[in-house]
Amino acid sequence: MSQNSITDTLDVSLISPSITSYKSIDGTLKLGIMASGNGSNFEAIAQAIDDGRLSAKIQVLIYNNPDAYAAVRAEKRGVPVVLLNHRDYKRRQDLDRQIVQTFQQYGVEWIVMAGWMRLATSILIDAFPNRILNIHPSLLPSFKGAYAIEAALAAGVKIAGCTVHLICLEMDSGPIVMQAAVPVLPDDTPETLHARIQVQEHRILPDAIALAALSHSNLRRKPTS
């Protein structure tokens, strides 16, 4: 069986929960995106908004790497960009205070860490409780950290994938919102596996944002006993 045949066979039902366009969100979500690199997940979110799949508006992009192509992507779409270089701050808390201030200035309601390579402190988490999402290239809780794909290959797993989760103080933890599985092929390298995982990241991230917002809204409406 060819690599494409394997991928096509396994791809059908390995997203959970199933991808759906969540049309029942009240209003338009006001998103703040955080990115450190290429920004392909930023692009996936923006495209989902353009396609009417996600009822949201990107209020601002914060990036910490001056060379991040994510900023170029945002500027092309007319999204405000703010560089907050972590090297300019002595403490993580100081950076997060500035992040919070910036997001509040732009009226952000939900934060999406779309390739943000910095740990969050309680300063940021407490300012947006249960409203910060992260995408990670593994099936959490397995393979946390910056080298998740390399660790998965080293462990010899046959299924890898990606996870969208709400963040907490512990790295790559917090409640899982959505996951997609990706087969590990016999001749995979970190680069080839990462490329296939990214395809699934782009598929699930917009819907995970909508699902998290819908769940958060329903929880707030639920009457207390």
Give the residue ranges of the annotated binding site.
39-41, 92, 134
Distance CA 194, CA 83 (A): 26
Annotated binding site for (6R)-10-formyltetrahydrofolate: which residue ranges?
A: 92, 134
Quick check: is 136 catalytic?
yes
Instruction: Report which of 79, 73, 83 is spatially closest to residue 39, judged by C-alpha positions.
Output: 73
Query: Among 86, 136, 165, 194, which one carries the catalytic annotation?
Result: 136
| Environment class of 92 (CB within 10 Å of its CB; exposed 0-12, middle 13-18, buried 19+) | middle
Residues 148 and 136: their CA atoms lie apart, in Å, by 8
Contact partners, residue 122, CB within 8 Å, separation at least 6 = 169
Nearest to 47 by CA among 128, 114, 118, 139: 114
Write out the catalytic residue numbers. Answer: 136
